Amino acid sequence: MRVVFVHGACVRDGTWWWHRTADLLAERGVPSVAPALPSCGETGLAPGTDGPGLPEDVAAVREVLAAGDEPTVVVAHSYGGMVTAEAADGIEAVRHLLLISSYLPEVGQSLSEFGGDEPAPFLAVDPDAGTFSARADLAEQTFLQDGDPEIVAAAIARLTPQSVHVTGQPVHAAAWRQVPSTYLVCGRDRGTPPERQREFARRAGTVVELDTDHHPFLTRPAAVRDLLLDL
């Protein structure tokens, strides 16, 4: 088995975000990879009005998924669920989806359809640049309240602007309809409230809940590892 991790919005250095869980999996002989998302500026192209968006993110993840035939579990976090819905579609090696505080869009849905009329208070939108980002001053209390100071500081240093047009671009497939899926509800998440997660989770095959913040793979890595090993 291998694991492919797909990170959420407004962060860079995807490998770092998953490293605590990935290291524990490696100890059990399970390899993993975290593809870079172009819309977050991870592939050298600047995010923004003319920058890469959801289609480029989908292509980047799909390339990794299609690169081998080893049975694969895709772990998608938050916005990563939008990417995975399309990227994992029709890939024979993908055997299971683990969605962490994530979105499960139907074909034709976009990220904006899961939010309110106004941006969340922990987000900052720059219409001139065509980007949105997570506010560093609210990151710990919103997303990482369970993290130790070192992890929180390293996470905040990896926040980054992302092309805002990813929020309006629809997905063209819904892999969770064909691939077995497990939804991990983060019970103390202040970014995506648990009640909203439970609504999203109705589309998944199995639902698990942990009393954790938005990033359990950083703050509760052993629990996420165990869940993956069970899968």
Distance CA 60, CA 42 (A): 11
pLDDT digits (tens, 9 = 90+) for 95-107: 999 999 999 999 9
Tally Cβ neighbours within 10 Å of residue 94.
22
Q: pLDDT at residue 149 above 80?
A: yes
Nearest to 141 by CA among 159, 124, 122, 123: 122
* Domains of the chain, each with CATH number or no CATH: 2-230 (3.40.50.1820)
What percent of the chain is predicted at pLDDT more than 90? 96
Query: Region 15-32: what's the mean pLDDT?
Result: 98
Picking from 213, 202, 176, the residue whose alpha carbon sits closest to that of residue 94 is 176
Residue 132 near residue 124, CB atoms below 8 Å:
yes
Q: What is the pLDDT of residues 101-144, one digit of tens each?
A: 999 999 999 999 998 777 889 999 999 999 999 999 999 999 99
Containing 3, the helix (H) or strand (E) segment is strand 2-6
Predicted pLDDT at 118: 79
Taking residues 36-63, what's their average pLDDT? 97
User: How high is the pLDDT of residue 152?
Assistant: 97
